[in-house]
Amino acid sequence: MNPDDAYATLAAMHRGLDEQQSALVTARLVLLLADALGDADRLAALAAEARAIFDTPGNATDGERRGA
Rounded distance, CA 21 to CA 18, Å? Answer: 5
User: pLDDT by residue (tens digit) across 14-53?
Assistant: 999 999 999 999 999 999 999 999 999 999 999 999 999 9
Q: pTM of this prediction?
A: 0.71
Closest CA to 13 of 28, 34, 35, 3: 28
Maximum distance among all Cα pairs of the chain, rounded to whole angstroms: 35
Q: Where are the domains of the chain?
A: 3-55
